[in-house]
Amino acid sequence: MSKPTRTFDHIPVVDISGLYSDKLADRQQVAKQIADAATNVGFLYITGHRIPQSLIDALLVRTKEFFARPHREKMRYYIGNSSNHSGYVPEGEEQFYGGKIDHKEAYDINNDLGHLSQQGPMIGPTQWPDMAGFKEDVSAYYQAALNLGQLLFRGFALALDLPEDTFDDKVKNPPSQLRLIHYPYNPDAQDREGIGAHTDYECFTLLLPTTDGLEVLNDNGEWIDAPVIPESFVVNIGDMMEILSNGRFIATSHRVRKVKEERYSFPLFCSCDYDTIIEPLVDPAPGIKPGTYQPMCCGDHLLAQTMHTFHYLKERVAKGELQFPDSSADASSFGKLREVL
Ligand SMILES: O=C(O)CCC(=O)C(=O)O
Ligand SMILES: [Fe+2]
């Protein structure tokens, strides 16, 4: 059987209330819709989640307060000060393949694993800014979103016809990062995208954007709009879920177009625990040759990817302070920055 062509023209909406049900049939009914969306599009909106709006409102207030601070003050929390990839990411810090720089600034929040003995370049405590209420409100959202992510992992397991608890012991302390992103309004910025075309590295992303601008690429090379739907989240499949699902669920390229208004967005990149081996859990999807997806270490993959794009990490490598993880393949085999037509 050949690989299906994904010609979607909209992003499906899935009401996930059934995932909270005690009845397996209710959970399976949602899982079936997740499977369809993940197979045919790689993106879906979810409604019926139980994250209170008050947590989202507080997250947005704190984020706006932070980014409104002068550059010098924000740089006190520069990500390059941290030993575990947490803190402020100024515009230009991240450089993607082809040398592109996005028109955005960000703040990277870690799963605050300071209490664990395992620490490393992607794992450990968050570098918190010294701002009243920031840590409390951002952590409260982080925890609620992470819990929703755990529920979705169970949904994805069912969607793959696997036991529902397949991922439970693989997502105990994942190095899942929450990004607070600010795309400033700049009428002169004619030459850059808000964020260039890419796939996400992790299993899936739970994304909360404040305004339109997100676009998703179908197999005809058309950019399909993913406008904001109130009270929903966007969920998109990342590279690792594509591997786990042996090509059944697709990590779809997406981008954010130049914004006419100020835009904020909050992706939580849902990963497995650092040492998890990411490898196919099911038979190859139609059109996928056996052996297409090779096993890799989850945390090392994230680290290697990040080392290729962040300026401060490249400097550490150049100075001999940091080495690429042994198990990581070379950069070009990572991600699937599909050519944009
Ligand atoms: O801002 C958005 O809507 C998407 C952000 C995104 O794709 C990413 O950070 O990986
Ligand atoms: Fe993304």
pLDDT tens, position by position, 234-293: 999 999 999 999 999 999 999 998 777 889 999 999 999 999 999 999 999 999 999 999
Q: Give the Å distance between the CA of 25 and the centre of ligand 2.
A: 32
Is the pLDDT reported for residue 341 higher than 50?
Answer: no
Is the pLDDT reported for residue 340 higher than 60?
Answer: no
pLDDT in tens, 119-176: 777 888 999 999 999 999 999 999 999 999 999 999 999 999 999 999 999 999 999 9
In a domain, 115, yes or no: yes
**In which band, very low, low, confident or very high, does the pLDDT at 114 lie, cut at 50, 70 and 90?**
low
Q: Cβ(59)–Cβ(141) under 8 Å?
A: yes
Residue 163 tokens, joined: 């036991």
> What number of residues does the chain have?
341
Measured distance CA(112)–CA(120) in Å, rounded: 12
Residue 210 Cα distances to 226, 252, 266, 268, 323, angstroms: 12, 21, 9, 14, 37
- Which residue's CA is minimally distant from atom 10 of ligand 1? 200
In a domain, 5, yes or no: no
Q: Residue 330 belongs to a domain with what CATH number?
A: 2.60.120.330
Q: Give the Å distance between the CA of 180 and the centre of ligand 1.
A: 10
DSSP state of 68: T
In a domain, 236, yes or no: yes
The ipTM is 0.99
**In which band, very low, low, confident or very high, does the pLDDT at 185 lie, cut at 50, 70 and 90?**
confident
State the chain's mean pLDDT as an integer.
91
Question: Ligand 1 pocket: which of 205, 259, 270 to mutate (most atoms <8 Å of CB)?
Answer: 205
In a domain, 4, yes or no: no
Task: Please give the pLDDT value at position 327.
Answer: 63
Residue 310 tokens, joined: 């962040």
Tally of structural domains, the chain = 1
In a domain, 305, yes or no: yes
Q: Domain of residue 230: give its range.
A: 13-340
Least confident of 177-186, 236-245, 320-329: 320-329
pLDDT in tens, 86-99: 999 999 999 876 66
In a domain, 331, yes or no: yes
In a domain, 2, yes or no: no
pTM greater than 0.90:
yes
In a domain, 7, yes or no: no
